[in-house]
Amino acid sequence: MDASNSDRGLCDPSVFDPKGLLREAYRIDGITEPECRTIFLDWAIQVPVGVAAKDHIEAALAHYATGQDNHPMTVTLQAGLRASPTAKRRGGRAARVGQNG
């Protein structure tokens, strides 16, 4: 994060939502969860490398989601805070022949 962003902190939407994608998602009447997931992915790729996306998501929820618990973007952002499932090995010989092979 550059110095100007760190000075303003994550309370400033220009830091956690610089393109206004999340803001606009909350303004779209009738937006659906699949549309919000697409917007979320577009938003997520702009989070700077080395910056915790979790912090940006929490800031967005605090700023936009107040009183909008059932909004599809709120649901999407909350899902973004959940831990990813642990990756399990799939494929290879063991998967084809079983554990006792």
pLDDT in tens, 50-78: 989 999 999 999 999 999 999 999 999 99
Dihedral angle computed from the Cα positions of residues 60, 83, 49 and 77, in that order, rounded to the nearest 10 degrees: -20
Q: What is the mean pLDDT of residues 16-26?
A: 97
| Amino acid 94: pLDDT | 66
CB 80 within 8 A of CB 57: yes
pTM of the model: 0.75
Could you tell me which residues come within 8 angstroms of residue 7 by beta carbon, excluding any fewer than 6 positions away? none
Amino acid at 68: Q
Report the alpha-carbon angle 37-42-44, nearest 5.
Answer: 90
